[in-house]
């Protein structure tokens, strides 16, 4: 399951960053974070929990209980103790598909903070000249 950073947390981080003496490169990163937050899809976890709720036959369970049950099922499958190996394979396939979707969705944000979006022929990212040395 994805770790979804809610809008309040993103807004709070942006507001705190605005109070810091950031260089132009850092300011640009925060603008890109804001653009990412505005363009991303809604939190997929409730929809995913609903799919698992049906698959695991847990009609009265809340999202947390469903995700815990899915985790236990996958853990039991890894240790060879799964009572329903076919069901565990289905949950694993869904989880892997969702993981791939999450990585694809997060790629622009991950690249932004790791520098992987830069041309490898251009060498490592350069220090922001507006940033005082020693920071």
Q: How far is CA 69 from the centre of its chain?
A: 21
Q: Quick one: pLDDT at residue 27?
A: 83
According to the model, what pLDDT value does residue 48 have?
A: 94
Q: Is the pLDDT of residue 133 over 70?
A: no
**Distance of alpha carbon 62 from alpha carbon 10, whole angstroms:** 26
Query: What's residue 134's pLDDT?
Result: 47
Q: Mean pLDDT over residues 30-47, rounded?
A: 85
Domain boundaries, the chain: 7-116
43-87 residue pLDDT tens: 898 999 999 999 999 999 999 999 999 999 999 999 999 899 999
Q: Are 79 and 73 in contact (CB under 8 A)?
A: no
Cβ neighbours, 10 Å, residue 56: 19
Q: What is the mean pLDDT of the chain?
A: 83
Is pTM beyond 0.75 here?
Answer: no
* Paired tokens of 43: 């939190």
Query: Which pLDDT score, from 0 to 100, does residue 132 have?
Result: 63
CB 126 within 8 Å of CB 25: no
CB neighbour class for 92 (10 Å; exposed up to 12, middle 13-18, buried from 19): middle
Q: Scanning the structure block, which residue is given the tokens 């209980």?
A: 65
What is d(CA 8, CA 91) in angstroms, rounded to the nearest whole number? 31
């Amino acid at each position: 399951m994805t770790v979804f950073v809610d809008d309040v947390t993103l807004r709070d981080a942006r507001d705190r960053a605005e109070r810091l003496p950031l260089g132009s490169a850092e300011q640009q990163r925060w603008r890109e974070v804001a653009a990412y937050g505005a363009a991303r899809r809604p939190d997929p976890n409730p929809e995913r929990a609903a799919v698992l709720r049906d698959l695991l036959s847990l009609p009265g369970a809340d999202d947390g209980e469903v995700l815990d049950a899915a985790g236990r099922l996958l853990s039991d499958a890894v240790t060879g103790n799964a009572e329903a190996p076919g069901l565990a394979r289905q949950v694993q396939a869904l989880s892997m598909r969702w993981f791939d979707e999450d990585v694809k969705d997060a790629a622009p944000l991950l690249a932004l903070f790791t520098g992987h979006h830069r041309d490898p022929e251009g060498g490592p990212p350069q220090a922001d000249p507006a940033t005082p040395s020693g920071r």
